[in-house]
Amino acid sequence: MHGSQLARSFPRSIFSEMSALAHACGAINLGQGYPDFGPPPQLQDAACNAIQQGHNQYAVSHGERVLRQAIASHAARWYGQKLDPETDICVTCGASEALWCALQAVVEPGDEVIVLEPSFDVYVPDVRMVRAIPVPVVLEPPLFRLDPERLRSRLTKRTRAIIVNTPQNPTGHVFSAEELQALAQICIEHDLLAIVDEVYEHITFEPHAHIRLATLEGMSQRTITISSAAKTFAATGWKCGWALGPEPLISAIRRVHQFTTFASATPFQYAVAEGLQLPDTYFHDLRADYTARRALLLEALAETPLVVFPPEGTYYVVADISPVAPEMSGYQWCRWLAQTVGVAAIPLEVFYHDPALGRSLVRFAFCKQEETLRAAAERIVELRAVAP
């Protein structure tokens, strides 16, 4: 007996592979994008309190009311977006489940779904699991901006949706008002749905600011916005996410969600509800903290011959290794880096349909404590002298 053809076609996640390698060779892990620090203390207390107060059984399938209300007021506070918590929100097991449910809910087998590349490695398998066809549109370094004409050239009668991720993993690109306007125009002209992954919505660097595509004229009825607590509250293990949008689309997502996981962990929903209601200062401090971490890593990388693309948002930096390892792929170089220099990174080739497009690019994560980043920086500057 063996797994299905589809399952066998999926590679082992590069994140697991690089984390295992980092562990095996004692490398500092700037590979997988999870913080090495915890959620804010008030959220930790809120999760413990929720358990002690008896919130331990299945949650309401589409999310506890207290969390849906907090998500709606967060959307109003930051984006002026009006949502009805009764109909426009579905709470899921992380943004990942929201994305899966959204595709299952709105895409038919054989539909085409545009994926902007390099893209978070979950999108293409999710599109394939709904038996739809992923259609890549490449964003080019150094700025990774959207070329609307390139996007238009990939549209066909079968194009149903476009997956957008802003701020974007892995490139750190924050889509500008102009790019989003162009995207909105294309979606409206071609009657496309936008599925927008905004998990890094609160991690942007001056002068860049996150704009919610759903708030652009003509987009609210055709946009599913996805986010989660993972990045905003350093709580990747809580797997508490959500999908927002117009009632007909969210109602379809709720139907899929009830037969996928039914509900996400109840106590964390109470804790995240508190998190979303934290004062503005929490979100400003988060940005300031990440600005400092970004500076620390960029400073170290600037000491090396790598070509670095400073991010506008997210907690990742992309670099081109060609000047230090012209013959190597990013994958080979990342293995060498972990084993020899003692720092783990992720090769970007896995974020492209054609690995050759990202062959010389790698990604470093800076969602780490200052001492972790300083220790990594000390090793990274060795790249001045050591080459494979």
Applying CB under 6 A, which residues contact ligand PLP?
33, 94-96, 120, 165, 169, 197, 199, 228, 230, 236, 239, 241
Residue in this structure with the two tokens 């920086």, named with its chain if needed: 377
Nearer residue to ligand PLP within complex by CB, 233 or 331: 233
Contact 116, 90 (CB under 8 A): no
Token pair for residue 382? 């060795």
How far apart, in whole angstroms, are the C-alpha atoms of residue 236 and residue 90?
19
**Where in 166-222 does DSSP place strands (E)?**
193-197
Determine how many CB atoms are found less than 10 A away from the CB of residue 375. Answer: 15
Tell whether omega for the bond before 323 is within 30 degrees of 0, i.e. cis: no
Q: How far is the CB of 298 from ligand PLP (least distance, A)?
A: 20
* 258 contacts: CB under 8 Å, gap ≥ 6: 61, 62
272: nearest Cα among 300, 221, 314, 230 = 230
Smallest gap from residue 92 Cβ to ligand PLP (A):
8
Cβ 286 to ligand PLP, closest distance in Å?
16
Residues forming beta bridges with residue 310, ordered by sequence position? none
CB of residue 381 to ligand PLP, shortest distance in Å: 27
Looking at the Cβ atoms of 182 and 234, the one nearer to ligand PLP is 234
Q: Would you give the distance in Å from CA 44 to the centre of its chain? A: 23
Looking at the Cβ atoms of 294 and 379, the one nearer to ligand PLP is 294
Q: CA 172, CA 271: separation in Å to the nearest integer? A: 28
Give dist(CA 68, CA 62) in Å, integer: 9
Look at the alpha carbons of 71, 220, 222, 140 in this order and tell me if their dihedral is positive or negative. Answer: negative
CB of 54 to ligand PLP, least distance (A): 26
Nearest to 260 by CA among 110, 78, 65, 62: 62
Nearer to ligand PLP, 32 or 159 (CB): 32
- Give the dihedral sign, CA 51/56/58/60: negative
CB of 196 to ligand PLP, least distance (A): 10
Nearer to ligand PLP, 239 or 254 (CB): 239
Burial group, residue 310, by CB count within 10 angstroms (0-12, 13-18, 19+): middle
Q: Which residue is nearest to ligand PLP (CB)?
A: 94
We find the least distance from the C-beta atom of residue 125 to ligand PLP, in angstroms, to be 13
C-beta of 126 vs 325, nearer to ligand PLP: 126
Tell how far CA 352 is from the center of its chain: 15
Residue 201 Cβ, how far from ligand PLP at the closest point, in Å? 11
Collapse the DSSP code of 195 into the 3-class scheme (helix H, G, I; strand E, B; otherwise coil) and give the result: strand
- Kindly report whether the peptide bond that precedes residue 170 is cis, defined as omega within 30 degrees of 0: yes
By beta-carbon proximity to ligand PLP, the closer residue of 240 and 377 is: 240
Instruction: Report the residue number, 31 or 85, with the smaller CB distance to ligand PLP.
Output: 31
Looking at the Cβ atoms of 225 and 236, the one nearer to ligand PLP is 236
Smallest distance from ligand PLP to CB 94, Å = 3
